[in-house]
């Protein structure tokens, strides 16, 4: 039985690893793999050559457009800061101060459309010792809150809202250990909240500009720009995200903001490839 098993194991017709039949099968598989790889490479080269030939009959351009519109909203940023012996005391004082500021800025005015309050600091009050004989104060809890006021974009009346807040105890900034080169340092920022129609207009203008550039480029080659083949990367430019006010990250209801009370700029760019025709 053992001899028969060994004989079968060495039989090349049964595909034994020690037989020539196994080596023949392995060689055949390698040849098939080589053939498959060659076919794949040739296919890729054919596709690339076709694409290259297609590009010889196209023109690619980047269309740009810019639209300036009046802002439809303004945002005032004020701060409330309070401290206490205990954290509970600091929070209660901050609540009271925010209520007083909110009441003051919303009284006898129809310019304020909304008020949002958020904690931006909750911790130990920073104390500074300037002289060696100066007594260092015991640590005190402190609360800092940002008050974002959404208003109609009327500059002269916005200043009145700021003055009301300041009289009620608001601050125009709070010390921050962090600052950024693109910080928004203005207490008042203007924005465009109703931007859908304007965005459509600037996108269409960018496409029109692309077609105009394609026509000019095609004319230089003695041809005409045909239909659109591809539309590539496109985008609108606006204030860098994330936005920061006085070194702290903040969010506005719109990404289209600026510091000018007279205009907000929306721009758009789009890459388009056209067919070239004789």
Q: Residue 218 class from Cβ within 10 Å (0-12 exposed, 13-18 middle, 19+ buried)?
A: buried
| Arch. (CATH architecture) of 59-69+194-277 | 2-Layer Sandwich (3.30)
pLDDT at 109: 84
Q: How far is CA 259 from CA 129, 151, 169, 239, in A?
A: 38, 14, 25, 11
Residue with the larger pLDDT of the pair 185 and 146: 146
126 has pLDDT over 70: yes
DSSP H helical ranges for the chain: 2-9, 20-55, 87-106, 155-167, 196-220
Pairing verdict, β 188-191 and 257-258: antiparallel
Q: How many CA atoms does the CB half-sphere of 254 hold within 13 Å? A: 22
Question: Mean of the pLDDT values across residues 143-155?
Answer: 94
The answer to whether residues 150 and 105 touch, using CB atoms and an 8 Å cutoff, is no
pLDDT at 36: 62
What residue spans define the domains of the chain?
A: 12-54, 59-69+194-277, 73-128+135-191
Distance between CA atoms of 96 and 162, rounded to whole angstroms?
A: 18
Distance between CA atoms of 183 and 164, rounded to whole angstroms?
A: 25
pLDDT tens figures, 203-257: 999 999 999 999 999 999 899 999 999 998 766 655 444 455 544 556 788 888 8
pLDDT tens figures, 130-142: 566 656 667 889 9
pLDDT at 189: 92
Domains 59-69+194-277 and 73-128+135-191 fall in the same CATH topology? no
DSSP conformation class of 184: B
pLDDT at 144: 92
Question: Mean of the pLDDT values across residues 151-177?
Answer: 89
The answer to whether residues 269 and 64 touch, using CB atoms and an 8 Å cutoff, is yes
Distance between CA atoms of 241 and 230, rounded to whole angstroms?
A: 29
Dig out the tokens for 76 from the structure. 């005032």
pLDDT at 43: 57
The answer to whether residues 90 and 84 touch, using CB atoms and an 8 Å cutoff, is yes
pLDDT tens figures, 54-110: 556 899 999 999 999 999 999 999 999 999 999 999 999 999 999 999 999 998 888
Place of tokens 């639209």: 67
22 has pLDDT over 80: no
Least confident of 10-24, 146-160, 247-261: 10-24
Q: What percent of the chain has pLDDT over 70?
A: 65
In CATH terms, the fold of domain 73-128+135-191 is Alpha-Beta Plaits (3.30.70)
Distance between CA atoms of 102 and 169, rounded to whole angstroms?
A: 11
The model's confidence at residue 175, banded by pLDDT at 50, 70 and 90, is low
DSSP-derived 3-state class of residue 113? strand
Dig out the tokens for 267 from the structure. 């721009």
């Amino acid at each position: 039985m053992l001899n028969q098993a060994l004989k079968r194991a060495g039989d090349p017709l049964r595909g034994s690893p020690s037989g020539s039949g196994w080596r023949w099968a392995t060689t055949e598989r390698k040849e098939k793999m080589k053939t498959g790889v060659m076919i794949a490479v040739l296919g890729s080269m054919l596709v690339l050559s076709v694409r290259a030939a297609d590009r010889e009959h196209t023109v690619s351009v980047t269309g740009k457009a810019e639209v300036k519109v009046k802002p439809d909203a303004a945002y005032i940023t004020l701060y409330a800061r309070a401290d206490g012996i205990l954290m509970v005391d600091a929070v209660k004082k901050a609540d009271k101060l925010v209520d007083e500021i909110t009441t003051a800025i919303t009284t006898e005015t129809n310019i304020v459309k909304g008020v949002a309050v958020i904690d931006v600091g909750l911790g130990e009050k920073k104390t500074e010792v300037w002289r060696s004989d100066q007594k260092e104060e015991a640590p005190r809890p402190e609360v800092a809150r940002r008050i974002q006021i959404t208003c109609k974009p009327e500059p002269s009346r916005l200043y009145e809202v700021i003055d009301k807040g300041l009289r009620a105890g608001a601050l125009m900034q709070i010390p921050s250990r962090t600052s950024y080169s693109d910080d928004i340092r203005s207490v008042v920022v203007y924005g465009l909240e109703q931007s859908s129609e304007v965005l459509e207009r600037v996108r269409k203008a960018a496409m029109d500009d692309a077609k105009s550039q394609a026509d000019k480029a095609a004319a230089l080659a003695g041809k005409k720009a045909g239909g659109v083949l591809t539309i590539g990367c496109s985008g609108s430019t606006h204030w860098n995200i994330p936005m920061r006010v006085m070194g702290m990250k903040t969010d506005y209801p719109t990404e289209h903001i600026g510091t000018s009370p007279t205009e907000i700029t929306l721009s758009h760019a789009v890459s388009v490839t056209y067919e070239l025709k004789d």
